Amino acid sequence: MSLKKWMVCTALAVSMIGGPSMAVEVSGLPDFTRIVATEGRAVVNVSTTRTERAVPSPVPDVFQSDPFFEFFKRFAPPQAREQQVASLGSGFIISSDGYVLTNAHVVADADNITVSLTDKREFKAKLIGSDERTDVALLKIDGGNLPVVRLGKSADLKVGEWVLAIGSPFGFDNSVTAGIVSALGRQLPDEGFVPFIQTDAAVNPGNSGGPLFNLNGEVVGINSQIFSRSGGFMGISFAIPIDVALNVSSQIKAHGSVARGRIGIALQSLSKPLATSFGLERPDGALVSGVDPKGPAAKAGLRPGDIVLQANGQTISDRGDLQRIVGMAPPGTRFALKVWRNKTRVDINVVSVLWQTPATVADNAREGARTDGNRFNRLGLTVSELSVQQREQLGVPFGLLVRAVSAASEKAGLLPGDVIVGVGGSALRSTRDLESAVRSGQTNLALQVVRNGDTLFVPLVLKDAP
């Protein structure tokens, strides 16, 4: 069917369904021209250069047989050369004296940063500071009476409302795309401090660091990431809430860095099988999978297997909620926690300390394991006890190294090399503790496991429990 015929058929279909009502809906679509005209002036292009060492290309095999090749390799070895690498992103001016917000990854390792405005002015920018965990960076350019964006509140956003993105995808300055808020509070892998805004506004490489506007022309987020299997836009993009970005940037401006709180626990999301094994009807809350023995949580009495349901009156739906509440509050904050333990509610108060990168467990934890294996046929599991040296490395009183899995254990996701250190909230003291748990008649067991230095719970469902 030709384009002309398709247009005619479409017009007829609209008139048959009810032309006037359809026309009203079309005319009611949002008009973004005002936002672009008034706020777009404060959206900037952020270009950077950095120095990288270029590795010499390997010499083809055909030349390596040449007798002169060995001579030159010995007396004139190829030297790595430095080269300048350019990258491009976006940003926006938040104060008339020249403070600019962008993504941390846009300016990472940059030797030079240039900010370009829509009126073709260019400024050398100074990096005031950046925060890798939230992917927020604050720049400063020397200028006065600069155009600025209006800042909104991401907390007021609602799923389904219109949003507008402005940036420089693939270097095309001040490109405008629109969409709706697809979801709120998205948690991405290794991004526990940011409750991302998901939108379907087209975002591509170069948009990073640019603003996300609501229909009032207020910035509600910083476009940061996309989900893509091709490298380009596929209908899912993520923005950092402006509330989070401003909290971070204000700390960077005042102190040059971000101070985060921690209470010394490792957290895990609850699945339905895990919730059932702990006696909860719904998988709501943050499961404590590990506790730093020297941290505030241990001193306050938190244990592995506890499930945090509330923190300072705020409901905890998932581990990300607790990570953000504790991590974005300043060190020294007191948290009143409501905890689910042994099918009862417990109140625990804990005071956060300054967040630091936690120590990791040695990678060779499985080396030197005892070879005498114990088989749990009903679990499809073969384990062996850890040596004294391994227990010291992991900091556990006892552990069972998983040597082989099948049946229920394989289905649950246990892997060879995992170390089982507890069942539910109770630490293992011997192999008999696991045997007793299996014989207890429970249909759901939560095995506490150490895997690659991290502690987590694995739900094991036993259909044939006696």
Tokens at 328, concatenated: 């974005």
Question: Active-site residue among 130, 175, 208, 409?
Answer: 208
Say if residue 54 is exposed, middle or buried (CB neighbours under 10 Å; 0-12, 13-18, 19+): exposed
How many Å apart are CA 61 and CA 65, to the nearest integer? 7
State the number of CA atoms in the 13 A half-sphere of 56 facing the CB. 8
Question: Active-site residue among 87, 90, 135, 182?
Answer: 135
Residue 89: name the closest of 199, 252, 203 by CA. Answer: 203
Could you give phi then psi for residue 307, rounded to 5 degrees?
A: -120, 115
Angle at 283 between CA 281 and CA 287, to 5 degrees: 120
What size, in residues, is the chain?
A: 466
Residues 417 and 367: beta-carbon distance below 8 Å: no
Tokens at 407, concatenated: 């049946």
State the number of CA atoms in the 13 A half-sphere of 315 facing the CB. 3
Could you give phi then psi for residue 330, rounded to 5 degrees?
A: -65, 150
How many Å apart are CA 273 and CA 458, to the nearest integer? 9
Q: Which letter does DSSP use for residue 7 in this model?
A: H
Question: Active-site residue among 105, 200, 269, 284?
Answer: 105
CB neighbours of 41 closer than 8 A, spacing ≥ 6?
Answer: 117, 118, 119, 147
Torsion 392-394-400-403 (CA) sign: negative
How many Å apart are CA 258 and CA 354, to the nearest integer? 10
How many Å apart are CA 466 and CA 451, to the nearest integer? 30
119 is catalytic: no
Helix, strand or coil, per DSSP, at residue 23: helix
Residue 36: name the closest of 215, 284, 250, 247 by CA. Answer: 215
Our measurement of the distance from residue 249's CA atom to the centroid of its chain's CA atoms, rounded to an integer in Å, reads: 19
Tokens at 372, concatenated: 């005498």
Tokens at 88, concatenated: 């491009």
Tokens 């095995």 label which residue? Answer: 447
Q: Which letter does DSSP use for residue 79 in this model?
A: P
Our measurement of the distance from residue 88's CA atom to the centroid of its chain's CA atoms, rounded to an integer in Å, reads: 22
Q: Which letter does DSSP use for residue 107 in this model?
A: S
Tokens at 85, concatenated: 């690498």
Other Cβ atoms closer than 10 A to 215: 15
105 is catalytic: yes
How many Å apart are CA 212 and CA 27, to the nearest integer? 24
Residues labelled catalytic: 105, 135, 208
